[in-house]
Amino acid sequence: MAEVRSLTVPSKINLILKITGKRPDHYHQLQTLFLPLAVPADRVELHWSGPGIRVCSSRPGLPEDLDNLGGRAAQLYASAAGVAPEWMFRIEKNIPVAAGLGGGSADAAAVLRLLNEHYRILPAAALTALALQLGADVPFFLTPRPAWAGGIGEELTWLPAELPAVPLLLINPCFPVSSAWAYRHFEPERIGKLPGFHADLLLEAWRAADWEAFGKLLHNDLGLALYEKFPLLEMLRRRLFQLGACGVQISGSGPTMFAVCRDADSREALAEALQQEFSDLRCFTAEPYRHF
Ligand code: ATP
């Protein structure tokens, strides 16, 4: 039987997202705190097939072949490593698309990892450089563990692995938001003028599992534009606090929100109450990803 390799890749949320500048090439410079989540996660399979690169997914409407970010990753790998591609990738898509959870980037990183684990041609630094060509948060997904990221998202500093699991609920309103839209609506004159964030306090609260304090320290500079454009998000934010959340924030460029709860029981109660009121939301009990 032909060999098949597979990898499960986590999603991510941004506990903090601060825009610190804009480069002449229009990329935004950030300081962000990434947290990988085991749920939702995608699964990517690599099959050896006829010449070329094929990509298909379990989600209808997702770009296929070289239009898929996974296909582009494979193409870059083939030319950087000098291998003739004969690959078919099957993506089991569980991460909501255009949702601020990094799904496309996660798949691209999975493809790079699967190929390099098999061919063992590129050193880690070269793989990271390829990842960055595909997107600012692709390097994070090569080694998905809680990390601070600077630059455009690629300067990674990992956090200690033994931090307690945050009782998180993910709430995905089932409409897409393009990252380009969210960043375009961040006005550059706001850089440096919006409230700051308190990384040290957040880490202290995290270590102490003080979710009340932790919840107050979440931050996202892209939130303003998103709350303005999508009143449902503001409505959800208020309702989540009324239902007992300690903190609520939008992940990345949205629209997925996450709520920090007091404990696992209150998270379950929150999910139940929310689904009764808003039947077309998708809620995920977001478990930490620990397979690094
Ligand atoms: P980020 O949080 O990294 O800004 P996102 O989670 O908001 O991104 P994605 O789910 O990565 O957004 O999708 C962004 C766009 O990329 C979609 O419009 C989608 O059609 C396209 N795309 C290409 N390949 C993929 C893939 N493998 N998975 C998801 N989207 C993909």
Residue range 58-99, pLDDT digits in tens: 999 999 999 999 999 999 999 999 999 999 999 999 999 999
pLDDT band for position 269 (cuts 50, 70, 90): very high
Closest Cα to atom 17 of ligand 1: 98
CA distances from 117 to 75, 110, 224, 233 (A): 16, 10, 41, 41
- Whether 42 is a known active-site residue: answer no
pLDDT band for position 127 (cuts 50, 70, 90): very high
Would the pTM of this model clear 0.85, i.e. be above it? yes
Euclidean distance between CA atoms 88 and 231, whole angstroms: 41
pLDDT band for position 1 (cuts 50, 70, 90): very low
Closest Cα to atom 27 of ligand 1: 104
- Over 90: is that where the pLDDT of 273 sits? yes
User: Does the C-beta of 103 come closer than 6 Å to ligand 1?
Assistant: yes
DSSP string, the chain: ---EEEEEEEEEEEEEEEEEEE-TTSPEEEEEEEEEEEEEEEEEEEEE-SSEEEEEESSTTS--GGGSHHHHHHHHHHHHHT---EEEEEEE--SPTTSSS-HHHHHHHHHHHHHHHHH--S-HHHHHHHHHHH-TTHHHHHS-SSEEEETTTTEEEEPPTTPPPP-EEEEEESS---HHHHHHTS-GGGTTTS----HHHHHHHHHTT-HHHHHHT-EETTHHHHHHH-HHHHHHHHHHHHTT-SEEEE-TTSS-EEEE-SSHHHHHHHHHHHHHH-TTEEEEEEPBP---
pLDDT band for position 292 (cuts 50, 70, 90): low
Residues 6 or more apart in contact with residue 80 via CB below 8 angstroms: 122, 126, 130
- Whether 25 is a known active-site residue: answer no
Atom of ligand 1 nearest to the CA of 251: 2
- Over 50: is that where the pLDDT of 170 sits? yes
- Over 80: is that where the pLDDT of 156 sits? yes
Euclidean distance between CA atoms 84 and 48, whole angstroms: 11
Euclidean distance between CA atoms 174 and 89, whole angstroms: 26
Q: How far is the CA of 66 from the centre of ligand 1 (A)?
A: 14
Euclidean distance between CA atoms 84 and 77, whole angstroms: 10
Select from 224, 234, 259 the least CA-distant residue to 18.
Answer: 224
pLDDT tens column, 189-237? 676 666 677 888 999 999 999 999 999 999 999 998 899 999 999 999 9
pLDDT at 85: 97
pLDDT higher at 138 or 1: 138
Q: Which two tokens stand for residue 65?
A: 């072949």
Residue tagged 């098999």 (tokens): 118
pLDDT tens column, 2-32? 679 999 999 999 999 999 888 888 788 999 9
User: Does the C-beta of 13 come closer than 6 Å to ligand 1?
Assistant: no
Options 42, 107, 137, 221, the catalytic residue: 137
pLDDT at 154: 84
CA distances from 17 to 135, 145, 192, 228 (A): 16, 17, 13, 18
User: Does the C-beta of 66 come closer than 6 Å to ligand 1?
Assistant: no
**Average pLDDT score, the chain:** 93
- Cis peptide before 255, with omega less than 30 degrees from 0? yes
Q: At what angle do helices 231-242 and 264-277 cross, to 10 degrees?
A: 130
- Over 50: is that where the pLDDT of 55 sits? yes
- Over 70: is that where the pLDDT of 122 sits? yes
pLDDT at 21: 86
Options 12, 18, 42, 107, the catalytic residue: 12
Mean predicted confidence (pLDDT) in 116-139: 96
Mean predicted confidence (pLDDT) in 104-116: 98
